[in-house]
Each structure stands twice: as structure tokens, then as C-alpha cells.
Amino acid sequence: MLAYEFHTDSTLRFIEAPDPGPGPGELVVTMASNGICGTDLKIARGEHRFFPPGTSRIPGHEAIGIVTDNRSGDERYAPGTAVALAPNISCNTCRPCRRGFQNLCENYEAFGLTFNGGFAEKILVPASAITNGNLLPIPQGLDLTVAALTEPIAAVLRGLRPLNITSDDTLLICGAGPIGLIALLIANHRGVGKVIVSQTSAPRRELAAKLGADVTLDPRAGDLAEQVLEVTDGAGADATVVATPKGTVFGDAVRASAVGGRINFFAGLPSGGGEIPLDANLIHYRELVVTGSTANNNADCREALDLLASAPGLFSPLITATFPLNKADEAFEAARAGEHLKVVVTDG
Ligand SMILES: [Zn+2]
Ligand SMILES: [Zn+2]
């Protein structure tokens, strides 16, 4: 089969790989679509901790496919069944797992990170992923390319959950990349009061406005917190999603918050760059709730699939390019260039 593999010399390249033959308890999914995200670009740069030099593995953790060879004994996955591969396979016995943080499992495994992923014609699904519930049947009628958004939507749903956004709230989104724009679409779908999007690039600000942002701000046009206070009659933001990996924005988000504001630090900062100036007194005096979120678990992915199925047209504008697997190199090039939102590799 054709695969786009991270090779031992730390480059991504096409290889002709043997077809995965499922053993007892396993099954094989034929890839239908797989989105490219920042994690994949990090892998392609040779900077991902799960892909040290010398690694040979196929990335792709946003995979959708059709079951073609089922040796699992689980009849829910008959050949022909369309499934999303929730990427993070948890052990369910470690302390984080037992407390509901399967996404932070101490024995973490994941498609496209520690196992071969979706940039290949076929994907081997190990028994652990099947028993752990990582194979999610796709709701009837949902387009399999749009379904590739399941994983990033799941991550955003997880980040938004502790913010408890209501129709009275003003939501501030810092960063209008795919994550920030998914947050915008979900917030408006749920009926948030007002959404402010902060983004340096003008075309992205225009896009955010087109997708429903009530106000867009350029954080370089002046102090971000002051700009937010100005457009909220001095009140500030009731909820904030920081979806840009820039340290100063985290402090800005705290300063831009209203009394009782909730903040999600969705983005991680480059390693070593996590110590940032932040006025802890504001958290105290305004009773702010500061939260973080990392990746997603199977329940988040199920919720994402349900949301996609209930409103498929809502998210489809985010997919701005698709490339067949045999042009995965061009797909990565397009994703790297930064003009696209979500680039999806398909079965052709
Ligand atoms: Zn991703
Ligand atoms: Zn665990």
C-alpha cells in the first residue's frame, strides 16, 4: 500500500509499505480522509517528541475510514462500516484515566503518534483501540471528508466545556486559526451573546467576520486588553479562548477578562516558553477561573461527531483544500504555507 511516512532521516516521504494484516482481535480500516494539523507539521519538521531521529512511522491522527477486514470479533465493525478513529488510546487504569483524564493517560498511545496513522491507504487498528472504544461509527449521511474535522472539534469542545458559555456572555477568541474558528462556529451555534476575535492577519480577521464574529481586533493595533474593554463598554470578556501560542496573549487574556471571567488556555507554548508575566491579582480580585485543555478523549470525539452530524454545513467552510494521498507532499506544502485553514488528505 502507499503510505506517507516519517522516515529515519527525519523527512516525510512516500513509501510502498506492506498491507497491514490484522491479527486476532484487530481490524483494518481503509483510509477515507485525514486532516493535517499543527502536530503533523511539527512531526514533518522533525521536532515532535514521539518522532525522534531514527523513527519510521506513518503520522495522521485525524483519520476517517471504512472497515475492510474485521478480525476483532466485534460485530459493530462489520466490513463497510464508516468510522472515525478517536486518536488517543488510554489504559483506563492509571490515575489520570481513572479520574476521567484519558487524554492525559500515563501510558499514552495514539494513532499517528505512537502507532501508524492515517496518511496511508490502510490503517491497522490494534485490539487495545477497539476494546477502549476508539472506533466511532460515523452517523448516517455525514460526508467522510467533513468528518475529518472530528478530532479538532473534539479538542475545542473539551476546551469550551469549563467556560460554560451562555447567551449573556461575550466570548473573546485569541487566534483565528482552525481552532479559534471552530470555537467561533460552536459558540454562535450555541447562541453566545457576542464574539470578539483577535487576530493579526487581516484576511483571517475578514474570514472570522464572515463566519460570524461580531467584532474583530488586530492585537498589534494597540493593547489587546484595552481594545477588548473598549468594545465591551468597559466590562471585559466573560469567557476567553487563547488559541495562539504566543506567551504575551495569555497575560492579555487575563487583563481583558470581566469580573467572573473564565479563560481557557487552549494553546500550548513552545517548550521552555511557558513562564509568562501574568497579573495574579486580577485572578483574585475579579474571581477569574483559568482553565487549560490538552487534546481530547473518546467522549469528546463522540460529542464532536454528533455535532458534525447535526450541523454538517456549519464546519465545511473550514476545509479549504483536499489532496489525494498520492499528493500528500503537496498537501503538507499547502498546510505549511499557512494560507489554508484545514487541509485534508483523502482517498482520492
Ligand atoms: Zn490534530
Ligand atoms: Zn491511563
pLDDT tens column, 113-148: 999 999 999 999 999 999 999 999 999 999 999 999
Tens digits of residue pLDDT in 241-282: 999 999 999 999 999 999 999 999 999 998 888 899 999 999
42: nearest Cα among 322, 335, 251: 335
CA of 199 to the centre of ligand 1 (A): 21
Mean pLDDT, to the nearest integer, of 157-161?
Answer: 98
Q: What is the mean pLDDT of residues 153-175?
A: 98
Q: What is the mean pLDDT of residues 215-231?
A: 98
Say what percent of the chain tops pLDDT 70.
100
The percent of the chain in helix, strand and coil, each rounded to the nearest 5, is 35, 25, 40
* Amino acid identity for residue 261 in this structure: G
Given this model, what pLDDT does residue 286 score? 98
Q: What is the mean pLDDT of residues 94-108?
A: 96
- Ligand 2 centroid–CA 101 distance in Å is 8
Residue 104 CA to ligand 2 center (angstroms) comes to 7
Ligand at minimal distance from the CA of 151 is 1
What is residue 336's predicted lDDT score, i.e. its pLDDT? 96
Q: Has residue 298 got a pLDDT over 90?
A: yes
What mean pLDDT do residues 228-239 have? 98
Q: Average pLDDT for residues 5-34, to the nearest whole number?
A: 96
**CB proximity list for 284: less than 8 A, separation 6 or greater:** none
Ligand number, closest to the Cα atom of 85: 1
Task: Please tell me the number of the ligand nearest to residue 101's CA.
Answer: 2
Helix spans in the chain (H): 38-44, 95-98, 127-131, 150-160, 178-190, 202-210, 224-231, 247-255, 280-285, 298-310, 312-315, 328-337
- Which among 192, 200, 190, 189 is positioned nearest to 171, based on CA atoms? 192
Q: What's the pLDDT score for residue 164?
A: 97
pTM flag (> 0.95):
yes
The residue to which cell 447567551 is assigned = 167
Ligand nearest to the Cα of 96, by number? 2
pLDDT of residue 339: 87
Distance CA 120, CA 117 (A): 7
In this prediction, residue 273 carries a pLDDT of 87
Q: How far apart are CA 11 and CA 169, in angstroms?
A: 45
pLDDT greater at residue 12 or residue 312: 12
pLDDT for 10 beyond 90: no
For ligand 2, an ion, list residues with CB under 5 A.
90-91, 94, 97, 105
Please state, rounded to an integer, the average pLDDT across all residues of the chain. 96
The rounded Å distance from CA 157 to ligand 2 centre is: 21
Residue that wins the pLDDT comparison between 8 and 114: 114
Reference 238, options 187, 304, 293, 314; nearest CA is: 187
CA–centroid distance, residue 2 to ligand 2 (Å): 33
In 3-state terms, what secondary structure has residue 37? coil
**116 CA from centroid of ligand 2 (Å):** 20
Mean pLDDT of 76-89: 97
- Report how far ligand 1's centroid is from the alpha carbon of 149 (Å): 9
